[in-house]
Amino acid sequence: MRDLSHDLGLLAINSATVKAWSLEQLVEGCARAGISAIAPWRDIVQAHGIDKAGKLIRDARLDVSCLCRGGMFPASDEAGRHAALDDNKRAVDEAVAIGARCLVLIAGGLPKGSKDLAGAHAQVRDGIAALLPHARAANMPLAIEPLHPMTAADRACVNTLAHANDLCDELGQGLGIALDVYHVWWDPDLPRQIARAGKRIITYHVCDWLVPTRDLVFDRGMPGDGVIDLRAIRAMVEATGYAGHCDVEIFSAQDWWKRDPAEVLQICVERHQSVV
């Protein structure tokens, strides 16, 4: 397993962790801290302007471990599904423009008023299949991120690494996995599924699961403050040959989002070196 104790070259900061910052502030803050990679969300890229964002990132010589996010495929009618596909094609183009290594896909949940989970699964599969030709032509890998089962109804009906692996097996080239410890740490089948995923893991996100958790979406912990065995999971991921960044992605409405982003960034550096 890689030694991170003195190597910031393997740390990426997800823009959700320092939510108050614009893209320009994120780039400048990471440069000051000696961090060489970011994982921006589309909103701050779009707010800066796609072409300007790409130039800003290139001029700062930053790596972009991933762009967050595309997906959200299920819809109640054909028009909604077509709109989702169009938006995902734009997301692929944005990822290319900023030099991202992949576009993260969040599956989407049940269409409004629906109880048809199998149908939602089929819409996700069909949506990714429809997007893949555009992504392949752009040479932009797509990374399915399985989310915790608590999100199945409203955000993501792909909830296990096994399901993500099945989609990769079925749909093939150009499709991989975004592994976020917050969403998969609980899974008793995790070791086998990480090994099965192998080289398909193309981005890796870290944070921690707090006990108690006050909000299941917006109360993630800083690495080291919760119960996830981060080094054990990273050892499994790196045993597959993964050599990419560890993205710190923390949604924290009651704690970290209220703090000075520069302070948050410094603590991310410390925890990356001592805990992750």
Structure tokens at 229: 């065995």
For 100-129, the pLDDT digits (tens) are: 999 999 999 999 999 999 999 999 999 999
Say if CB 167 and CB 125 are below 8 A apart. Answer: yes
Relative to beta strand 201-206, strand 175-180 is: parallel
For 205-222, the pLDDT digits (tens) are: 999 999 999 998 999 999
Structure tokens at 29: 């803050």
Which pLDDT band, with edges at 50, 70 and 90, does 137 fall under? very high
DSSP state of 110: P
Say if CB 269 and CB 8 are below 8 A apart. Answer: yes
Cβ contacts of 260 within 8 Å, gap of 6 or more: none
DSSP state of 247: E
pLDDT reading at 91 higher than 90 = yes
Q: Give the DSSP letter string of 177-217.
A: EEEEHHHHTT-TTHHHHHHHHGGGEEEEEE-B--SS-S-TT
Element containing residue 103 per DSSP (H, E): strand 103-106
List Cα–Cα distances, 85 to 65, 131, 174, 200, in angstroms.
23, 7, 16, 23
User: Locate tokens 């070259």: which residue?
Assistant: 9
Distance between CA atoms of residues 54 and 96, nearest Å: 9
Domains of the chain and any CATH numbers? 8-274 (3.20.20.150)
Distance between CA atoms of residues 247 and 141, nearest Å: 17
What average pLDDT is seen over the chain?
Answer: 97
